[in-house]
Structure 1
């Protein structure tokens, strides 16, 4: 009976641990905003995976079935959606299975259905499967497939389909010569693609230099933008493009008629130009002739055209350099033709700018010159696990409010940080996921309420956070605010982080422990703390470890279980 109870308790503990350190097949390391703004209509991705639409509906772009303007956000009958996208007068939704629903104007084949017929309500496109992301231009669209290739369809008069011709296509066709794509961004008639290696490819319309290649000739096939490397994110709209570097600065190029490049003038740029004074940028949301930057601290900067107050500034003059608006705790933004949206850490939505077609979702047609709260909330998972690339995970401290995302080789952290457990070099709480430097090649992450351990692919271990009991294994009790390698600890197979103690399963089946030992949770036969990894004698043949607040469990290769440490609540399952 006791043995059964122990096995049940271990199974529950292992399940709980998997909730805190859960490997995914893949995830995307970008925030695809839960708001998509077209020219005169808007789509909202709701917390339950449904979609609401609002605004001008003359070409059924809202998806409500009739041509009547939809004056308040209205459910469109979709479910399990994870991304929405809006073209000028067309709309798209990608569900969790990678299927795509399309509706609205289709005069150029931008819906990819094989004809040019308008579609009144969301309809599944059988020509698109396994889709990760869709980005939409004026009258064409491009999709990222889970294998890292691209499909494009619609108008191709400027080579925006990237197939080496200017022949349009009513159905999705493969974009040749490009693989390993991480993200795509479509402008009016051009495309920017970010690859997994941090380089950028561009193609399409280039009369204003929006491809950044230093000339103004259209390009019919994906071409490397050799002046850029170490890029972490891209965005495009209208005739301008943006890239965020790994150091969180921004380069911009293309049309600058309204100051939308943010470089202090209206001079066009045919090559990427640094936006001076703009740093710590998390994401860029371009509007048609303006841009919104969300910073890592949740603040916002805006620049470009402001004729309809789309920047949220008190005056309507164009803004040639990034300016602050009085909004805090912003997770992401979305820009439209002349309407803008901000989403807070609580997933509340604020709209500003043009509203003549009810597109702000406020129930009236009055423009807004300041961010105004909309009566809805959007999807509550800003970093949406996709399930497409290997060796990614989401992890959370078992007894804390800290979270980690390992996405396509990048480790991001957010939440509580009082002991430096996020590894970002400080002890400030973070409201949005921020990147840790030089942390690729991670195999596993284990996090407690105040310290973090990472197992690298080479079997070494990095540790950071609280260290009052030596739980970082570094030989001292000094806190570490950045990842620090535990010397002389190699050949590790698995890690477990308890309240203030750490456990490592070695490749040879032995176990090492360090940190707090006041309840004998290290299994060393005494109650003395250890500040360096210490082998637990007599314990071999271990298959998996779990660490509680002050106790430890080991699943053995023969299916039996061993337990030690605190037992004040019967957590060892020993019947007492």
Structure 2
């Protein structure tokens, strides 16, 4: 049984043939044979969307002038995770293999999935635990906790001098002893967290989105992984990267020793929400909507942010030119606001809902990860 709501840009690709290009109020998305498809994950970029089902199969919607071509079945079995960037898609199988496609992955066959994990030189690193897409690059976390990057290095997002290495169609080792990768499907920068909870970043920093401080704000390209100083106290739960900004979720204990999560941001925030210009270091996002609520999940598109909480349900801010905040209009929101949603079928268990943001589109969907 599926519960999928969509709002935002209804093109590139087209999901609703009889709806306008701007869907400003959340509407139900349904598959042709809904009873046979239990949704597990949705990943959306700019030119593509992948729906992953509980049975390990997936379909994709691609930008095509002939909308009758969609959806298309992905001819890969036992899929564990899907991830979509600007011009790339990557798939992690239950066996630990990663298949990817895109202009930045293979110049010869950009429309065909290839096994990029098999291209890693160290054969001991070919079992992959996680994969995430950036705008023009893909990052792989191996079972040995090493991170490899493949694709564009235009802004140093692979951690190397972009004048020497502009791009690579072979995974290259970026960093060892990594526990998590934090890029974004529209970002030219990336964060890596090591096992000691030390955070490193590289890539585009023109709008101070890497959070390295005011002293190096003029360095628009961070071409090697650099340790991020002055990280807020607490455990880093998640970081989501937009084109101009980054959002961090930190968990700490309150005065009663109960876990409490807070949001922080850095980068150019004036058009992305929060009503301020460049923030050189991660700074707390304060709102009365968070005071007595628990933040479950955050997700960032190109310039908009959505936050799923236990009580307020869905909170958003930032760009809304295509209705991607689901507020019913196209007005940008410079401060966090609560978004009114239709009554959800499983609203008694909001923790099983998840958010997926593309460039100018958003999904809210129900997926019980503990359910077979």
TM, length-normalised to structure 2: 0.67
Is residue 104–residue 120 contact of structure 1 (8 Å, CA) maintained in 2? Answer: yes
Distance 1:199 1:373, change over 3 A: same
Is residue 108–residue 170 contact of structure 1 (8 Å, CA) maintained in 2? Answer: no
Q: CA deviation at 1:115?
A: 4.5
Q: Could you give the per-residue CA deviations for residues 44-98 of structure 1, whole angstroms, max 9, x where no partner exists?
A: xxxxxxxxxxxxxxxxxxxxxxxxxxxxxxxxxxxxxxxxxxxxxxxxxxxxx54
Is residue 194–residue 233 contact of structure 1 (8 Å, CA) maintained in 2? Answer: yes
Give the distance between the partners of 1:142 and 1:114, measured in 2 at CA. Answer: 18
Give the distance between the partners of 1:241 and 1:351, measured in 2 at CA. Answer: 23
Q: CA deviation at 1:279?
A: 2.2
Higher-Rg member (1/2): 1
2:75 is the counterpart of 1:177: yes
Is residue 107–residue 116 contact of structure 1 (8 Å, CA) maintained in 2? Answer: no
Q: CA deviation at 1:138?
A: 1.3
Q: Could you give the per-residue CA deviations for residues 90-149 of structure 1, whole angstroms, max 9, x where no partner exists?
A: xxxxxxx54221111113334x22346221111110127522111112132111111111
2:26 is the counterpart of 1:122: yes
| Structure 2 unaligned regions, length at least 5 | 121-125, 252-259, 298-350, 355-366
Q: Secondary structure at the match of 1:347?
A: strand
Q: Secondary structure at the match of 1:108?
A: coil
Tell me the equivalent position of 2:48: 140
Which is bigger in relative contact order (C-alpha 8 A, separation at least 6)?
A: 2
5 Å-filtered alignment, 1:521-532, equals none
Is residue 177–residue 195 contact of structure 2 (8 Å, CA) maintained in 1? Answer: no
Give the distance between the partners of 1:261 and 1:269, measured in 2 at CA. Answer: 9
Q: CA deviation at 1:220?
A: 2.6
Tell me the equivalent position of 1:218: 109
Is residue 294–residue 331 contact of structure 1 (8 Å, CA) maintained in 2? Answer: no
Give the distance between the partners of 2:134 and 2:66, measured in 1 at CA. Answer: 21
2:196 is the counterpart of 1:302: no
2:261 is the counterpart of 1:347: yes
Tell me the equivalent position of 1:393: none
Q: Secondary structure at the match of 1:319?
A: strand
Q: Which runs of 4+ in 1 moved over 4 A?
A: 380-385
Give the distance between the partners of 1:134 and 1:126, measured in 2 at CA. Answer: 13
Tell me the equivalent position of 1:311: 210
Q: CA deviation at 1:241?
A: 0.7
Give the distance between the partners of 1:270 and 1:116, measured in 2 at CA. Answer: 39
Tell me the equivalent position of 2:280: 369
Tell me the equivalent position of 1:550: none
Tell me the equivalent position of 1:405: none
Distance 1:151 1:388, change over 3 A: farther
Is residue 266–residue 280 contact of structure 2 (8 Å, CA) maintained in 1? Answer: yes
Q: CA deviation at 1:300?
A: 1.6
Is residue 12–residue 46 contact of structure 2 (8 Å, CA) maintained in 1? Answer: no
2:124 is the counterpart of 1:227: no
Distance 1:338 1:386, change over 3 A: same
Distance 1:304 1:336, change over 3 A: same
Give the distance between the partners of 1:336 and 1:171, measured in 2 at CA. Answer: 30
2:144 is the counterpart of 1:247: yes
